[in-house]
Amino acid sequence: MRYPEVRRDETVETIHGEAIADPYRWLEDGDSDETAAFVAAQNAFAQPVLADLPAREAFRGRTTALLQAPTRGCPWIRGGRAFAWHSDGQNQPVLVTADSVDGLEEGRVLLDPNALSADGTVAVTAASVSPDGAILVYGVADGGSDWRTLKVRDVVTGADLADEIPWTKWNAPVWLPGDRSFTYWRYDAPTGAALTDEMGAGRLMAHTIGEAVEDDAVLFSRPEEPRLFARHWPRDDEWFVLSTDTGASSGNDLAARRHGEPESALRQLAEGHDVERNAIGVHDGALYVVTDEGAPRYRLDAFDLATGARATVVSEHHEDVLLDASITASGLVLEYSHDASHRAQLATFDGTLGDALPLGEGVSITGLETSARSDVVLASTTSFVDRGTRHVLEVDGARLVAHRTLPTPGPAAPAATTTRIRATSSDGAEVPAFLVQPEGVDHGAPRPTLIWAYGGFNIPMNPEFRAVTAAWVGAGGTLVVPNLRGGGEFGSDWHKGGTKERKQQVFDDLYAIAEHLVATGVTTHEQLALHGRSNGGLLAGAALTQRPELWAAVLPGVGVLDMLRFHRFTIGWAWTSDYGDPDDADAHAYLRAYSPLHNVAERPYPPTLITTGDHDDRVVPAHSFKFAAELQRAQAAAGGEAPILLSIDTRAGHGMGKPKDAAALEFADQLAFAAAHTGLEVERVPEA
């Protein structure tokens, strides 16, 4: 294939005594005319190839149907009003409100993000309703950016107020006593390239409705520690609780003071960024905290906020992982992970365990809403074969009183059977995976199979309904979702076992699963595709460069692919908690050893489709640009005949708030590419 000509220059940087060539560094300037020409040339090369794929239109129809099927988010209640995100096929879901959860289906639209732009690329990425149900604060992001502007809306009238706060990120607004002021995390307006420049120091602010943003109070600021984040949570009318941390999955400190007291009154409750402390609520002067301190599967502790004394409320489970907990008027709701699926159990405030909540088997809890003033628990669940179920539960302490589900309109998910498989990794550890096989096809012989994987940042891969994977299963393909080291399925030891110098273990876990699938006849190497996004894109890139013979096709999406410079853009430095710091000599050595960009060799590679968005200000698109350019060069030099494609969405970011029509096209390209190279024949879905 004649790939687009891409200029290589002589840029070489000596890092820790090693000369590192970086001939495509100029592609890091996303605003240059030359980079724009590169984007245009790559898209002009890739799009005709993708448009010619036999299954593209069939998958576009399937993903469009799945994305446009009605969805209903987990409801929540504030001040006697019910709220929920609903979608009936729009590009962006709408926020509806009603007097009760049963009235939401006919509820009033409070906020319609689709009205904010003609093409659906302006999204609402944060929303918080005041405890009295009167005021909505929402964050608006353009073109998939993480940057957002906070706006304020009157819930009763539906009219926006004058308040508008630019240059915010990360924290959702948290309300302060009185319900007319809230906290948020803000940065100075960028002076350079807003979508690529490394983030400076932020600060925790408090805004009062109706007052000038310039007069907002600074609640926490450490300009001398620009890599420190702060969050006010949980909300309590007496106590201000502050959590500080330094990275995407590192531990955190906890401190508290009474509202109205100065910052100097903050009492340190716990410190040390090697321990996670997720504060979940305050009851009777005690702060309840889920922690992995001395408990890799986590336990629930309580801090006396007046004295700082600490006690264990719920001990570490011998097998399951305590993911989260929440407070009702009369007790606790505990969320556990059991073999990478979720369950929930009630408990009293002193930790006595009670009834299990009947949320189903083999599911993920995608939302769980409680209030310290109510004994109603609202939950939503999903699985590979369930688009979503909403639960309304009444509790009395540790006892379940009543349970019902709310109807969800729309079609059922594609029929499939989910089982667990396990493979032995390079260090002898057992690595499990979900095997999702479509019904109505012959599984007596190997079939086209797609692995969807992540393996990082303590993020679990649980049973979850995704349009991109459901479309593959619905078309007759087999889906495999591994639980690799680095993820959060089995506690903090499992997570840390795939971080920093142990990151190679994540890749080895993946190879063990792939080889097990072939050895057991589920698939063959000629029928096996790999897809991953973000950190999963790194996984796909490393698997491509380390073990190209394993794959029939590889699809790295918005991937972290330059492991020596990821920390120099936007929020990339926060990922050193999982990856290590490239500026450290020891970390440089192991990062260099697996960095996809730096391990491309002149050898034939399998078919590869790299995707990114030119507005991605989390994993900047230069990662994908540089990797694709080098991979195309190496493939051509080796005489490799398989296509190496780079497809760039020019009005998209990391994926947050992406319009459904754009998502459907991206998924169709990826799935059709995988189908073409694994031999999956796809029938078109009949028109409705």
Give the position of tokens 């304020």. Answer: 152
Beta strands in 198-266 (DSSP E): 203-208, 217-221, 229-232, 239-245, 252-258
Residue 566 phi/psi, 5° resolution?
Answer: -60, -30
390: β partners:
380, 406
C-alpha–C-alpha distance, residues 184 and 173, integer Å: 5
Pair 95, 110: CB distance under 8 Å? yes
Q: Of residues 245, 508, 616, 669, which has the active-site annotation? A: 616
Per the rule left: phi > 0, alpha: psi between -120 and 50, beta: everything else, 80 is left
CB atoms within 10 A of CB 409: 11
570: DSSP letter: T
| Alpha helix ranges (H) inside 413-558 | 467-474, 492-496, 504-519, 535-546
Question: What is the distance of C-alpha 88 from the center of its chain?
Answer: 23
Q: Of residues 342, 516, 567, 654, which has the active-site annotation? A: 654
Residue 468 phi/psi, 5° resolution?
Answer: -65, -40
Residues 6+ apart with CB under 8 A from 663: 63, 67, 467
* Helix 622-637 / helix 535-546 crossing angle, nearest 10 deg: 10
- The strand order across the sheet containing 399-406 reads 364-369, 376-383, 386-396, 399-406
Q: Of residues 534, 595, 624, 647, which has the active-site annotation? A: 534
Active site residue 534: yes
Per the rule left: phi > 0, alpha: psi between -120 and 50, beta: everything else, 395 is beta
Give the position of tokens 């005949």. Answer: 641
C-alpha–C-alpha distance, residues 336 and 317, integer Å: 9
Residues annotated catalytic, as ranges: 534, 616, 654
